[in-house]
A and B are shown apart, each in its own frame.
Chain A
Amino acid sequence: MTHPQDLSLRHQASHLATGELDPRELLAATLARIDERDGALNSIAASFADESARMLAQAPPGPLYGVPVAIKDMFQLPWRGPRDGSAEEHLPAGESALYRRLRDAGAVIVAVTNMHLYGAGTTGEVSAYGPVANPWDPERCGGGSSGGSAAAVGARLVGGAVGTDGGGSVRLPAAYCGITGLKPTFAATPVEGYTHAYTTMGVAGPMCRDAADTRLLAETLIDRPLPKGDGSRLRAGVVSSPFWDDLDPDVERSCRATLEASGWPVEDVTLPGAEHALIASVLRLTMESLPAIRLDQLQELDPLTRALIKYELVIPARSLMRADRVRTLLRRSAEAAFDSVDLLVWPTVPAPAPRIDNPTIELPSGLLPADVGNVRQAGFGNLCGLPGISTPVGQHPSGVPIGLQLHARWGGEALLLDAAEQIERATGRRHVDAVPVIAR
């Protein structure tokens, strides 16, 4: 028999429901796989066999009965306070709303995943638990800030994990690790017991191997059905500038080829204000998180994070207010665009996962910190509050995956999953079913 974690999330759930799989054996096998396989990845910040066994013993019947899942280190659990990638708890132990949703669906939380410190980066190499590696190449970044969740799913440690996305933090690591990551509409998932509950940008979302698994986990996290529809008859909008500008040529080629293969009619769309989306995202994200940072602990941080915080402390308030005007402009632009298209489509990341020891990317314009290029591609969805998804569409010559990003109108999660399934069909599922190096 294959290892049960080589089954998809939905097949684990259905095999458990029919009795083909024993939930205690599945839990034991999952914990053993984490022990055996995570050493090179560092995707897991903590696992807790006793608490997981207790959760399983008390699990009610539900759509995820007995299914092991992992959760980013930003949510209260009854036995562990979240740490945000740092060494100390940011909230005490307790019951976050997402914990309750998973518990009530019958899921078993087997691990807390590693993440970029404070959620403040897209590469995942800065964390009190050490860098998160990529399952396709452990010398490359697993991404961030939900890099541990992405790498754990990609490496088949678990079939599904929870991430959060304030500036691309579900979609970007999903693209790096070759999995599917859904950023729901803002506020679609509850923030009680979430370390960044103050945000106007972030939301929790599911990260799984493909769209069908993502749909199953999303229904629990969002707490509403996401019925399957026809993804073949959608209209795609392409925003050439800035989201298709200055891309790694292989990333651009894969994304364009996938869009062509999708069969969707494609329309050029202009989004007024999009040229300012990067800086507006950076300003909004940094200003929202600054009040939560203790200035008396600055000297304990790594030099880069410390310097960034000091820079942010002196940014003029005028710039933030102008960023909020850009945000309104972008939200209006998006709403107008959805009059004529169902999807806005562009590459999730401009270049593939960089090396952990040098998290920069090479673009036609030159070398750039990966964060800058990544937030340029992702921040629009957070500013607008739109749902977005990253789905794997190729493999870069460097050996790591390529992701395509789709946005839909507010509340359009089901449509995005339909669209991702259409892409999977159009590409013969070869990218969602590809097995990373670490799992062979």
Chain B
Amino acid sequence: MDWLERQLRGGLEEAGVELDEVDLAIIRIVNALYGPALRALDKADLSDVWPETVLDPSRPPTAR
């Protein structure tokens, strides 16, 4: 069992959701597509960007 399967089985068991082999096969494909982007997001330097405390997407951001 690799890290992805461990993470899935652990997390889904907690939520009371079963994981079968079809799910796992599809998720491996999805993770191959989005995994690199997720890892790049985790490594990005966003230290000087704080989320807007009162997000209003109908208007420009409150500060540049």
Total count of chain A residues near the partner, CB < 8 A: 48
Q: How many whole Å from B13's CB to the nearest CB in chain A? A: 10
B31: chain A residues at CB < 8 Å are 311
B41: chain A residues at CB < 8 Å are 276, 279-280, 319, 322-323, 326
> Does A435 sit within 8 A of B, measured CB to CB?
no
Total count of chain B residues near the partner, CB < 8 A: 37
CA distance A161 to B55 in the complex (A): 30
B52: nearest residue on chain A (CB-CB)?
Answer: A328
> Does A1 sit within 8 A of B, measured CB to CB?
no
A313: chain B residues at CB < 8 Å are 11-12, 15, 17
Q: Which of A308, A314, A319 contacts B42 (CB 8 A)?
A: A319
A383: nearest residue on chain B (CB-CB)?
Answer: B57
For window 301-354 of A, CB contacts with B under 8 Å fall at 303-304, 306-308, 310-311, 313-315, 318-319, 321-329, 331-332, 335-336
CA distance A326 to B44 in the complex (A): 9
A332-B30 contact in complex given A278-B37, A313-B12, A314-B12, C-beta closer than 8 Å: no
Q: Which of A201, A279, A328 contacts B51 (CB 8 A)?
A: A328
Residue among B19, B30, B61 with the most chain A CB within 10 A?
A: B61
CA distance A18 to B17 in the complex (A): 61
| Contact yes or no, A325 B30, CB < 8 A | no
B16: chain A residues at CB < 8 Å are 295
| Contact yes or no, A310 B8, CB < 8 A | yes
Tell me the number of A-to-B contacts counted with CB atoms below 8 Å: 113
Which of the segments A124-132, A183-191, A261-269 contacts the partner chain?
Answer: A183-191
Q: Which of A298, A314, A318 contacts B7 (CB 8 A)?
A: A314
B57: nearest residue on chain A (CB-CB)?
Answer: A385
CA distance A303 to B27 in the complex (A): 10
| Contact yes or no, B22 A303, CB < 8 A | yes
| Contact yes or no, A369 B33, CB < 8 A | yes
B33: chain A residues at CB < 8 Å are 368-369, 372
> Does A21 sit within 8 A of B, measured CB to CB?
no
| Cβ proximity bits B4-32 to A, threshold 8 Å, 1 near / 0 not | 00011011100111010011001100110
B44: chain A residues at CB < 8 Å are 276, 322, 326
A319: chain B residues at CB < 8 Å are 38, 41-42
A279: chain B residues at CB < 8 Å are 34, 37-38, 40-41
CA distance A93 to B19 in the complex (A): 35
Q: How many whole Å from A337's CB to the nearest CB in chain B? A: 11
> Does A414 sit within 8 A of B, measured CB to CB?
no
| Cβ proximity bits A270-286 to B, threshold 8 Å, 1 near / 0 not | 00010110111010000
B58: nearest residue on chain A (CB-CB)?
Answer: A187
CA distance A303 to B30 in the complex (A): 13
Using a CB–CB distance below 8 Å, which chain A residues touch chain B?
Answer: 185-188, 200-201, 273, 275-276, 278-280, 282, 295, 298, 303-304, 306-308, 310-311, 313-315, 318-319, 321-329, 331-332, 335-336, 368-369, 372, 383-385, 409-410
Known: A276-B41, A310-B27. 11 other contacts (CB 8 A): A186-B57, A273-B49, A276-B40, A276-B44, A310-B19, A311-B8, A313-B11, A314-B8, A323-B41, A327-B51, A335-B61
Q: Can you pick out 19 interface pairs between chain A and chain B where the beta carbons lie within 8 Å of each other?
A: A200-B57, A201-B57, A278-B37, A295-B17, A306-B23, A307-B26, A307-B27, A307-B30, A311-B30, A314-B10, A314-B11, A315-B38, A321-B51, A322-B41, A324-B51, A332-B64, A335-B60, A372-B34, A385-B56
